[in-house]
Structure formats: C-alpha cells, structure tokens
Amino acid sequence: MVKVCCIGAGYVGGPTMAVIALKCPEIEVAVVDISVSRINAWNSDALPIYEPGLDEVVKQCRGKNLFFSTDVEKHVSEADIVFVSVNTPTKTQGLGAGKAADLTYWESAARMIADVSKSDKIVVEKSTVPVKTAEAIEKILTHNSKGINFQILSNPEFLAEGTAIEDLFQPDRVLIGGRETPEGQKAIEALRDVYAHWVPVDRIICTNLWSAELSKLAANAFLAQRISSVNAMSALCEATGADVSQVSHAVGKDTRIGPKFLNASVGFGGSCFQKDILNLVYICECNGLPEVANYWKQVIKVNDYQKTRFVNRIVSSMFNTVSGKKIAILGFAFKKDTGDTRETPAIDVCKGLLGDKARLSIYDPQVNEEQIQRDLSMKKFDWDHPLHLQPMSPSSIKQVSVVWDAYAATKDAHGICILTEWDEFKTLDYQKIYDNMQKPAFVFDGRNIADVAKLREIGFIVYSIGKPLDPWLKDMPAVA
Ligand code: NAI
C-alpha cells in the first residue's frame, strides 16, 4: 500500500489530502501538524475550517485511509510520498523584509524529513514557495540524507477557498514539476498516477521544477491583476457616471478576456494574492528586473487604494466624521463560503474606521469574536504563522462588538458596510433594518450585492462601488 503523508493540516493540506484519500482508497493518507488544537479539530465533528462539502468527504474516509495526527515524525518516516503544505509567511525582519517569503517552517520540515527518513522518498512542495526553493530543499535533504534518495517535486495547489472541494474534484489542471533526470521523471509519474485516479491525464501538466514554482506565482499575480484592473475602472466609473457592472459585462464578452473575475469590490484578500505578488516582486528585484517588479507592485497599490477610497467615502459622506457613530459591518471573511479572514479587506476597512473613532458592530456567519479581535489587533503579516506561535494582543478592542445576527449589528447604527458577499445579505429585511437605524441611514456596499434601487426607495443613502453616485455623495471627495 502506498503511504502518503502531508505536513501541515491547514486550508490546503486538509482538503487536498481528504480528496486524495476519497479518490484513492488503496492509498493510506496521514495529515500531520505541530498544532495540537488543529489536529484535535480535524478528528472531531467541528472541523477547523469551513468549506462546503468538506465534512462529507472527511467523514467518508477518516479512520479508514485518512488519519490526522500530531505524530509528525512517525508518519513522515513511514511515507513514500511526503507533501509539505506548511506556512510560508512574508518576512517581517532582515533581508527582504515585507516582501520575501520566510521559509523557516519549510526548512524545519525539510530537516525533519532528512532526520527521520529510513527509506527513499518523494518530497512534494504543496505550499506556494519562491522560485528555486526546491533547489534549496534538495540541498538540505541531500546533505543530510545518510544515503537515502530524495526526489523533489513541485505540485502547487490551485484550489480556491469556498469552492475547494469542487476545485479538487474537477481541477482546471494539476501541475507537477520535477527534475529532468530519469529519477525525476519516475517521481513525476508516481505522483501523476495518484491524480490520474480522478483527473483526466490531459489536465495533468508536467514541467520542470522552476516552471511549476513560477506558474503558481504567475497565476495568482494574473488573477489579482484582473481584480485591480476592474477596481481601477470602478474609480473612473464613479467619477464619470459609468456603471462598472455594465463595463465589466461589455469587456468580459470579448472571448479573449472572458467574464470571470471582473467584479468590482472593496479589494481582494485571502492568504495568497498579496503574499505571492510581494514574493514575485522580490524575485524580480533580486534578478535585476525593477521595471517588472514595479509593474506587479502596482497591483497591490491599487488594492490598497481601493480600501482607503472606500473608508474615505464612508467618512466623508457621514459629515466627515464617524467619531462615536455605530457602524455595522456585515461580513468579515475575505469572501463568501469561507471563514478565512487572512488579509481580508475588512481588516483594513475596520482599522480605517476605528482610526476615525467609529464604534463597530460586526457580524459574519462564519467568523467568531476571538478571530475578529485577533485580526484587528495583530500586526501586518503576523497571521501567517502556526496558531500557537502567533503573538496575541493582551486586550481586545473596546469599540468593537461582535454579534451573531445582522439585525443586532445594524440596530441603532448610522451606517452599514457590506464587506463579504454572503448570500444571506441579499435577502435581509432592509425595511426592518432601516426602521431601526439612525437617520440619515447609509449603506456602503463593498461587494455590489445590494439592490440599490430598492434600498433608495426605502430611504437609504447608498454607495455601491463603481456605480453612478447617489446625489448625496456627488460632491464629497473620494480620493485617498
Ligand atoms: P495554514 O496556515 O492553514 O496551514 C499550515 C499548517 O502548517 C498550520 O496548521 C501549521 O501549524 C502547520 N505547520 C507549520 N510548520 C509545521 C511543521 N514544521 N510541522 C508540521 N506542521 C507545521 O496554511 P494554508 O492556507 O494551508 O497554506 C499552506 C501553503 O499553501 C502556503 O504556502 C500557501 O501560500 C499555499 N496555498 C494556499 C492556498 C489557500 O487557498 N489557502 C491555495 C494554494 C496554495
């Protein structure tokens, strides 16, 4: 029986391994982590991450050919294929601070693999890593190998949170990079055989190591660039009276461009886009390509601009101050159908409003108070470390309350910010909400999900990103 082990039971390691276990009943899959609470949660009824369809997959395989454990060394030593899906945070200190990837967790995983291995292994990079990481890992493994043969593969993960299970069941492609030696090709084949259990072979792309590593960074940079492109257009739409949804629709009809990923919003978030672009920027700079680095840096700058612009709209339209005013925040996760808050634009919007002394009442169907308080008090980039190693703020922010219902959040509020496109926010009883709010009552829709005409009819002053402005907002400055 082939044994697979995955180091890192996070958003990537958990779902990917659960799907491998489901699709390959003859493979034994162990997912290991240094975080005891995470492993306990994977072994309980309340899984540590929310992802539609994940519960069913885990329930079908757990205890049969899928195991979650903190006994990292035992499972690594027994495995034929070891996936590494640990955190790759952005460095906050030293060389490359604020841009380069911090490979501390990766390196310690590689050293541990070398220490405990007693048989040949294929080591698979599942985490997103800078180009040429495989070379570094290979060096660590071979210099400590005691005669054991390690083959390194790059197999970046393209799943999107919120649709992870669907994406894993039917991936657009699976990418496997390896050495162009006979041993390297053999390792590629072994991993291809795993995926071929359910992925059509023409969707499994095999490349060299560096192409696979760079393709992942490039794909995320392209995706984020689309969002920044449409968001840049949204600012121009507001200035000119065009409607960004109509522009996106017209532009997306061009088959060379396509309709997906063209929704204007308060900005992109999630653990990957910003981090991967910063990483790409750093690699470009290290390779003497400042023009290329600056090109990609601009994608992040527009994203930051969009969040600042949104906060400025709120403050300026509420008589230039939100001091002491209650603002309801609907949605905190970085997108719907996930409880993930890493790099969510809600953090910057909330911090911006708190900077102007607002009182916030936050509701998200999948994010609890502890997480929100942690996110609002944590320093930039600190989130990307194993849970038990994250610095915790000693006190919570008093001006922030977290409630479990949109109606409680909006009661007596002066304004509402919609920051995540949860379906339930489309069908709220906005008349009831309006009746219980201070007047004038504002809605700032950061996801363009609200029915603007209906809300205006009720009496709300509405700001919708990239849409013709409410007369109230027309003369208010929106620039960052
Ligand atoms: P995560 O933070 O959810 O999971 C990482 C896990 O690794 C944590 O549970 C941590 O405790 C564990 N860990 C760290 N060092 C360890 C060690 N030495 N031994 C055992 N366990 C260790 O992170 P996530 O989101 O799963 O991401 C993992 C990698 O995959 C990152 O490089 C990320 O950029 C990449 N990625 C993430 C995607 C996403 O949608 N979240 C999509 C594609 C790639």
Q: What is the pLDDT of residue 214?
A: 94
Q: What is the pLDDT of residue 478?
A: 56
Last residue of a domain, one of 199, 234, 266: 199
Give the Å distances, CA to CA, from 230 to 80, 224, 280: 45, 10, 21
Last residue of a domain, one of 174, 199, 224: 199
Does the structure show a pLDDT above 70 at 391?
Answer: no
The best mutation among 5, 7, 11 to test binding of ligand 1, ranked by most ligand atoms within 8 Å of the C-beta, falls on 11
Same domain as 298, residue 154 = no
84-131 confidence digits (pLDDT tens): 999 888 888 888 888 888 888 999 999 999 999 999 999 999 988 887
Write out the two tokens for 313. Answer: 């709209």
Contact between residue 228 and residue 274 where contact means Cβ atoms under 8 Å apart: no
Q: What is the pLDDT of residue 389?
A: 74
Distance CA 204, CA 207 (A): 10
Does the structure show a pLDDT above 90 at 205?
Answer: yes
Same domain as 190, residue 124 = yes
Distance CA 282, CA 182 (A): 33
10-46 confidence digits (pLDDT tens): 999 999 999 999 999 999 999 999 999 999 999 999 9
Q: Which of 6, 272, 284, 350 is catalytic?
A: 272
Q: What is the pLDDT of residue 439?
A: 97
Instruction: Answer whether residue 207 is part of any domain.
Output: no
Write out the two tokens for 111. Answer: 């050293």
Contact between residue 462 and residue 317 where contact means Cβ atoms under 8 Å apart: no
Q: Using omega within 30 degrees of 0 as the cis cutoff, is the peptide bond preceding 156 cis?
A: no
* Annotated binding-site positions for NAD(+): 8-13, 33, 38, 86-90, 127-128, 161, 272-275, 342
308-323 confidence digits (pLDDT tens): 999 999 999 999 999 9
Ligand 1 atom closest to the Cα of residue 272 is 34
Total domains present in the chain: 2
Phi/psi for 242 (5° steps) reads: -75, 165
289-308 confidence digits (pLDDT tens): 999 999 999 999 999 999 99
Q: What is the pLDDT of residue 59?
A: 97
Is any ligand 1 atom within 6 A of the Cβ of residue 175?
no
Does the structure show a pLDDT above 80 at 381?
Answer: no
The best mutation among 7, 12, 36 to test binding of ligand 1, ranked by most ligand atoms within 8 Å of the C-beta, falls on 12
Same domain as 173, residue 251 = no
Query: Which of 42, 49, 87, 88 shows the shortest CA–CA distance to 67?
Result: 42
Write out the two tokens for 226. Answer: 């689309």
Same domain as 253, residue 192 = no
Nearest CA to ligand 1 atom 41: 11
Instruction: Answer whether residue 385 is part of any domain.
Output: yes
Average pLDDT, the chain: 94
The best mutation among 85, 215, 273 to test binding of ligand 1, ranked by most ligand atoms within 8 Å of the C-beta, falls on 85
Mean per-residue pLDDT, 437-458: 97
Same domain as 261, residue 186 = no
Is any ligand 1 atom within 6 A of the Cβ of residue 461?
no
Q: Which range of residues forms the domain containing residue 103?
A: 3-199
* Annotated binding-site positions: 8-13, 33, 38, 86-90, 127-128, 161, 272-275, 342
Is any ligand 1 atom within 6 A of the Cβ of residue 5?
no
Instruction: Answer whether residue 210 is part of any domain.
Output: no
Same domain as 130, residue 50 = yes
Q: Give percent of the chain above pLDDT 70.
A: 98
Q: What is the pLDDT of residue 393?
A: 64
Distance CA 258, CA 261 (A): 9
Mean per-residue pLDDT, 326-332: 98
Same domain as 16, residue 97 = yes
Mean per-residue pLDDT, 466-479: 80
Ligand 1 atom closest to the Cα of residue 271 is 41
Rg (the chain; Cα; Å): 24
Instruction: Answer whether residue 208 is part of any domain.
Output: no
Is any ligand 1 atom within 6 A of the Cβ of residue 221?
no
Assign residue 462 the CATH number of its domain. Answer: 3.40.50.720
Same domain as 249, residue 155 = no
Is any ligand 1 atom within 6 A of the Cβ of residue 267?
no
Distance CA 456, CA 478 (A): 21
Lowest mean pLDDT among 152-166, 390-404, 410-424: 390-404
Does the structure show a pLDDT above 80 at 287?
Answer: yes
Query: What's the 3-state SS for the chain?
Result: CCEEEEECCCCCHHHHHHHHHHHCCCCEEEEECCCHHHHHHHCCCCCCCCCCCHHHHHHHHECCCEEEECCHHHHHHHCCEEEECCCCCECCCCCCCCCCECCHHHHHHHHHHHHHCCCCEEEEECCCCCCCHHHHHHHHHHHCCCCCCEEEEECCCCCCCCCHHHHHHCCCCEEEEECCCHHHHHHHHHHHHHHCCCCCHHHEEEEEHHHHHHHHHHHHHHHHHHHHHHHHHHHHHHHHCCCHHHHHHHHHCCCCCCCCCCCCCCCCCCCCHHHHHHHHHHHHHHCCCHHHHHHHHHHHHHHHHHHHHHHHHHHHHCCCCCCCCEEEEECCCCCCCCCCCCCCHHHHHHHHHHHCCCEEEEECCCCCHHHHHHHHHCCCCCCCCCHHHCCCCCCCCCCEEECCCHHHHHCCCCEEEECCCCHHHHCCCHHHHHHCCCCCCEEEECCCCCCHHHHHHHCCEEEECCCCCCHHHHCCCCCC
Instruction: Answer whether residue 62 is part of any domain.
Output: yes
Does the structure show a pLDDT above 90 at 454?
Answer: yes
Does the structure show a pLDDT above 90 at 395?
Answer: no
Same domain as 176, residue 30 = yes
Last residue of a domain, one of 164, 199, 234: 199
State yes or no: is 237 an active-site residue.
Answer: no
Same domain as 121, residue 256 = no
Q: What is the pLDDT of residue 134?
A: 85
212-262 confidence digits (pLDDT tens): 999 999 999 999 999 999 999 999 999 999 999 999 999 999 999 999 999
User: 330 burial class (0-12, 13-18, 19+ CB within 10 angstroms)?
Assistant: buried
Is any ligand 1 atom within 6 A of the Cβ of residue 348?
no
Same domain as 298, residue 190 = no
What's the length of the chain?
480
State the distance from the centre of ligand 1 to the C-alpha of 341, rounded, in angstroms.
14
pLDDT band for position 362 (cuts 50, 70, 90): very high
Same domain as 399, residue 331 = yes
Is any ligand 1 atom within 6 A of the Cβ of residue 225?
no
State the distance from the centre of ligand 1 to the C-alpha of 13, rounded, in angstroms.
7
Q: What is the pLDDT of residue 3?
A: 97
pLDDT band for position 147 (cuts 50, 70, 90): confident
